[in-house]
Amino acid sequence: MLVSEIIQSSFPVLHYTNSVADAIELLQQNNTEHLAVVNNDHYEGLLSMDELLSAEDADNISMLTDKFIHISIADNQHFLSALKIITESGITALPVLSNNGEYLGIITEKILVQSLSSFLSADVPGGIFVLEMQKQKFSIGEISRLVETNDAFVTQINTYTEQLSGLLIVTFKINKTEISDILATLQRYDYTIRHYFGEEFYENGLKENFENLMAYLNV
């Protein structure tokens, strides 16, 4: 998914002629902490609510050019690059420019979260399991094959390295909510399952409650 696919071109912008009071009101109306400043159709930078609130001596936006945040992203970048920039910079809106520097619109935190949800297929039903392993033991092909032997398939994979242990943590989402057979297969092949989310949780809960009841009755 490219940045160009999630641009909000109609999102309000600030102009040099805007008063500080009007700018504050515009940010409040759009529930954002940052807005792009555009002058003669040219992107000048981002201006934050904090800078506006502290601009006691400024009459309009043109007097705050030294407070602008000079940050943007090209429209042909992947949307995960936009997510990285927003996360690292702490801004709430990211201006989008064309290759020749033309201002095209903005990406807000809200639209990024929605895009990430779609990217991760969060709205698609399915089970989730998390494996931990040494990096050299990770084989997407083998794990996918084991999942497929149980009449299922992998719809999403995400990985990260745990800092303390150095282990590779791999999260799989599959197209089935009933995952007990898949977990059993993985365990037979010596995979360590850290977490799992699916109907197996419900079955495990019933089993545990039953065992506790039998233990109580045998007292």
The pLDDT of residue 154:
92
pLDDT over threshold 90, residue 55: no
The pLDDT of residue 215:
57
- What percent of the chain has pLDDT above 90? 58
The pLDDT of residue 201:
45
Tokens representing 163 are 């800092």
Q: Are 201 and 181 in contact (CB under 8 A)?
A: no
Could you report the per-residue pLDDT of 166-197, keeping only the tens digit for each? 999 999 999 988 899 999 999 999 999 998 88
DSSP secondary structure, 111-134, as one string: HHHHHHHHHTTTTS---EEEEEE-
The pLDDT of residue 202:
42
Higher pLDDT, 57 or 140: 140
The pLDDT of residue 50:
93
pLDDT over threshold 90, residue 23: yes
98: closest CA among 41, 46, 34?
41
Please give the Cα distance from 173 to 128 (Å, whole number).
5
